[in-house]
Structure 1
Amino acid sequence: MSLSSPLVLVVGLMVTVALGWGVVVSARRRAGVLAAAGVAVPGGRRTYLGVGLTIAGLGVLAVAGAGPAAMVPVPRTAGTVILAVDVSNSMGADDVAPTRLAGAQRAARAFVEAQPDSVDIGVVAFERGALTTARPDADHSLALKAVDRLKVTGGTSLATAITASLSAITGEQVVVDRDGTIPDLGYWPSATIVIFSDGQNQGGDVEQAATAAQKAGVRIHTVGVGTPAGATVNVDGFHLRTALDEETLTLIARTTGGAYHPASDAARLDGIADSIDLRLTVSDEPLPLAGGLIGLALALLTGGAALTVLRSGRVI
């Protein structure tokens, strides 16, 4: 238990002890006077029960005034979340109205707005390369602005999306070597990556990158934006067919202990924020006790006053 004003407790208890001692001295003098006059002294503990309750109430009130608080474990959603949004040319497809990217932006915004202040959110835009457009921060407006600025361009590298997100989490450049060597990134169990993509990977070893995240304790959720039937996009005058690759996105999620969330239409995209489970952490937080102690003090003071009046016809 902690006290916000220990001096109040010291002073309050000193006053309470002084009052108690004063009552004892007064009672002894009164008994002596009555005995000298040959008057029987009313005895028994019940005679002073009301006074005792009153003094006890004052003591409890002194403790309450010191601002006591108990530290209790409180589970809450916390940590770091990186939103990795695919901005490759295929995200311009319109099989999710109005486009895959617009749908991903809408879902990402809803996700950000649903998170408590205890979650730091960053944004990574990726195609063949990746760029951290908003570093993890408790100010969620920065993430929302970064999501709104996204535009389609280039190809897709889901491996780059993962390594760039890990870089944003650890604060260091993360590279998975071509020979399969996975770097030691430390352990980040409170970090989560959410990838919004159609899953069409065109570069990099996705499984190695996902394994690097898994070794670092980082869970990845994937959100599939698009439809298996696909659509045609116009890239530099060429008409290219593009479809949702759920298998790759599912592989990434399962490797890290996350989950794949299909979002083939606007309605499913709108519900993504509620379907993604973030890490629950337990932290010790102060629980104020003053309210309960004040209630107890008032009960003691009221009981003491009532008993004193009933027995002697006066409050003290």
Structure 2
Amino acid sequence: MSLSGFSAPWWFLLFIVVAAVVAGYVLVQRARRKRTLRFANLALLDKVAPRAQGWPRHVPAALLIVALILLTVGLAGPTAEQKVPRNRATVMLVIDVSLSMEATDVKPTRIKAAQDAANSFARALTPGINLGLVSFAGTATVLVAPTTERQNVVTAIDGLKLAQSTATGEGIYAALQSIDGFSSMVGGADGPPPARIVLMSDGKQTVPEDLYAPRGAFTAAQEAKKQQVPISTISFGTNHGSVTIDGREVPVDVDDGSLQEVARLSGGDFYQAGSAEQLKQVYDDLGEQIGYELKEADASKPWFVLGTLCLIVAAGSSLFIGQRLP
């Protein structure tokens, strides 16, 4: 740990005092030995002088020095990176409910696997974070505005209904609008709370077909970038999925490319999930990433505890060995 890892490194100047104590102890021991050797009558010395205790007599002093070192480090205010739950952050969960989610390439179906993973994500997310839910197919609907009440989100996820078409851009715009409305209500002196969109989709945008259209996914991603709302996109499904629409089999392959570009344009991250287990793992990773942040926090307590324990042991050993306190 470097000096930059201490909040008050000037306390290390006390090491000069500790060094002086060590030097003083060594000098005292040498002086005592010289005074002892001045006795001419060694036979008399053996009778009147206490028996040498050897190295154990130095144990209390050594423990005292160690305690001073530990307490000095504690006073210097060591810091360490610690996971701290985020507060005030806003997360909008945006889920594709197009008919392609009926595909059974992911067991039991894509939509059921998505619901289970999203529910797990909602329940495990840090309590201090505001979570909202948007579903989209041909249009987008804000099912739950940002809230810390997780049961509302869980209930809405369980009630997701499938519909035709895929308007990814509409889903993003609905999430941005919900974030903006919530931020205007709760924003204080520190400004609006940080926000993120978690977008899960299994197919290519169909409404509109042009991803750069005014309501297209890429245009929406660029707007999210302007509003400093990164989008974490999850491409869910496989390349051999299909659904039956109007009596005919329709292939519904995932579209990794467009979701990867949405993430890039918004400043977010892209994830792939080809099974229910992988989707749950992605959500778990996102929950850990979103719910916690690494901060430099005070780490002095262990040093003070160890220093205090050393002082107690030093006092006890001194009483046991020399029948006096050091």
If the length of structure 1 is used for normalisation, what is the TM-score?
0.59
1:121–1:135 contact (8 Å) kept in structure 2: yes
Deviation at 1:189, TM superposition (A): 5.2
Mark the CA change 1:173 to 1:167 in structure 2 (over 3 Å): closer, same or farther: farther
Q: Which runs of 5+ in 1 are unaligned?
A: 2-49, 58-68, 175-185
Distance 2:149 2:180 in 1: 19
Distance 2:312 2:107 in 1: 69
Which one of the candidate residues 212, 215, 223 is aligned to 1:212?
223
Give the match's secondary structure for 2:82: strand
Give the match's secondary structure for 1:227: coil
Q: How many positions carry a matched residue from both structures?
A: 243
Identity %: 26
Mark the CA change 1:90 to 1:284 in structure 2 (over 3 Å): closer, same or farther: same
Partner of 1:201: 206
Partner of 1:80: 90
Deviation by residue 1:40-93 (Cα, 9 ceiling, x = unmatched): xxxxxxxxxx9xx99xx9xxxxxxxxxxx9886634463332211112233223
Q: Which runs of 5+ in 2 are unaligned?
A: 1-5, 7-59, 68-76, 185-190, 209-214
Which one of the candidate residues 241, 244, 256 is aligned to 1:233?
244
Partner of 1:94: 104
Distance 1:188 1:215 in 2: 15
Mark the CA change 1:217 to 1:308 in structure 2 (over 3 Å): closer, same or farther: same
Deviation at 1:245, TM superposition (A): 4.3
Distance 2:266 2:98 in 1: 24
Partner of 1:29: none
2:263 is equivalent to residue 258 of structure 1: no
Give the match's secondary structure for 2:289: coil
| Residues 165-314 of structure 1 aligned to structure 2 (within 5 Å) | 165-171=175-181, 190-203=195-208, 204-234=215-245, 237=246, 239=248, 241-246=250-255, 247-274=257-284, 276=286, 278-279=289-290, 281-283=293-295, 289=301, 292-293=303-304, 295-297=306-308, 299-300=310-311, 303-304=314-315, 307=318
Mark the CA change 1:127 to 1:309 in structure 2 (over 3 Å): closer, same or farther: closer
Deviation by residue 1:207-265 (Cα, 9 ceiling, x = unmatched): 1101011222222222223333441333xx56472523413222212222333333333
Give the match's secondary structure for 2:235: strand
Give the match's secondary structure for 1:278: helix
Deviation by residue 1:76-131 (Cα, 9 ceiling, x = unmatched): 46333221111223322333333221122122223334534354332211122222
Deviation at 1:163, TM superposition (A): 1.0
Query: Which protein is richer in strand relative to its size?
Result: 1
Mark the CA change 1:213 to 1:303 in structure 2 (over 3 Å): closer, same or farther: same
Deviation at 1:149, TM superposition (A): 1.4
Distance 1:250 1:310 in 2: 71
Q: How much is the aligned-residue C-alpha RMSD, in angstroms?
A: 4.2
Partner of 2:160: 150
Give the match's secondary structure for 1:271: helix
1:225–1:244 contact (8 Å) kept in structure 2: no
Deviation at 1:278, TM superposition (A): 3.0
1:219–1:258 contact (8 Å) kept in structure 2: yes
| Residues 38-187 of structure 1 aligned to structure 2 (within 5 Å) | 74-76=82-84, 78=86, 79-171=89-181
Give the match's secondary structure for 1:155: coil
> Which amino acid is 1:85 matched to?
I
> Which amino acid is 2:102 matched to?
G
If the length of structure 2 is used for normalisation, what is the TM-score?
0.58
Bigger mean CA offset, 256-265 vs 277-286: 277-286
Deviation at 1:151, TM superposition (A): 1.4
